């Protein structure tokens, strides 16, 4: 039980301690806790940066109800790897200081990072990156998915991603005629 007297003080101490910590604790939808460097989190995620700046980070684990533990683990893993890797100039110029430059190809480690993921894990990570405002991670994961589509026929794409074709035959024919300029060599 907390004694009223000194509560404010304790609160104050807790806040200071929190500000001094160099990691933040994140809590997935299924209650698992992950620690990530505060600097990396603030740099890579606009949402976490806002929460850190706004003081809405909870020492006992900031609730991220939209993100499952597997995706959050990948997010944290990405942040840590990002913090450890020596970023190439390409990365710096694309996402941090020169955000007007065209998208730069993923780094070797980023490629490996997304290549090892299952389809479902990749989709969950895309959503987490989108939710947390992690532009570079969103780019890298979306780029990976685009590579899985590139050069494939519609049938092949449907198969890879398990997409159900809900068009009627007539509708399909109509679209193909409308967009004949994109299907001219079929």
Partner 1 sequence: MPLRKSCKMEGAGSGIDTLPDGVLQHILGFLPARDAVRTCVLARRWRDLWMFATGLRIISNCNDEMGELREFVDHLLLTRGIAPLETFELGFDGVSADDFCEGDVLRVNLWFRHAIRCQTASCHVTIPGNCTCILLEGLSEAKNLALIAESETFIFKKDLRHCPTFSKLKTLLLSDYLCVALDLDAITCILKHSPVLERLTLELFRQGSGHKMLMKGSYSPVHTAAAISEHLKIVEVKCEVVDERVYKVLKLLCTFNIRKLINNAIEFFQYL
Contact residues toward partner 1 (CB under 8 A) are: 43, 46-47, 86-90, 92-93, 96-103, 119-120, 123, 126-127, 129-131, 133-135, 138-139, 142-143, 145-147, 149-152, 154, 157-158, 161-167, 172, 175-176, 179, 181-184
* Secondary structure string (H, E, C) spanning 138-167: HHHHHHHHHHHHCCCCHHHHHHHHCCCCCC
Closer by beta carbon to partner 1, 30 or else 59: 30
With CA atoms as reference, report the closest residue to 68 among 23, 34, 42, 40: 34
Shortest CB 9 distance to partner 1, Å: 36
Contact present, 145 and 92 (Cβ < 8 Å): no
Shortest CB 6 distance to partner 1, Å: 39
With CA atoms as reference, report the closest residue to 123 among 165, 86, 160: 160
Q: Residues 6 or more apart from 79 whose CB is under 8 A from it?
A: 36, 37, 40, 41, 44, 45
Closer by beta carbon to partner 1, 3 or else 86: 86
Shortest CB 149 distance to partner 1, Å: 6
Shortest CB 2 distance to partner 1, Å: 36
Shortest CB 35 distance to partner 1, Å: 21
Q: Residues 6 or more apart from 50 whose CB is under 8 A from it?
A: none
Closer by beta carbon to partner 1, 109 or else 167: 167
Closer by beta carbon to partner 1, 15 or else 152: 152
């Amino acid at each position: 039980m907390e004694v009223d007297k000194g509560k404010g003080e304790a609160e104050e101490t807790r806040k200071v301690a929190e500000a001094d910590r160099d990691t933040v604790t994140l809590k997935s939808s299924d209650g698992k806790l992950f620690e990530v460097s505060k600097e990396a989190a603030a740099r890579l995620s606009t949402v976490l940066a806002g929460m850190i700046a706004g003081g809405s980070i909870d020492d006992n684990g900031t609730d991220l109800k939209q993100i499952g533990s597997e995706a959050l683990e990948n997010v944290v893993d990405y942040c840590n790897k990002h913090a450890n890797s020596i970023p190439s100039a390409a990365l710096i110029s694309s996402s941090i200081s020169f955000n007007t430059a065209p998208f730069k190809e993923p780094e070797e480690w980023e490629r490996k990072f997304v290549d090892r993921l299952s389809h479902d894990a990749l989709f969950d990570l895309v959503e987490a990156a989108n939710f947390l405002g992690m532009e570079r991670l969103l780019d890298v994961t979306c780029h990976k998915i685009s590579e899985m589509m590139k050069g494939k026929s519609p049938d092949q794409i449907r198969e890879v991603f398990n997409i159900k074709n809900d068009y009627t035959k007539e509708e399909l024919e109509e679209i193909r005629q409308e967009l004949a300029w994109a299907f001219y060599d079929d």
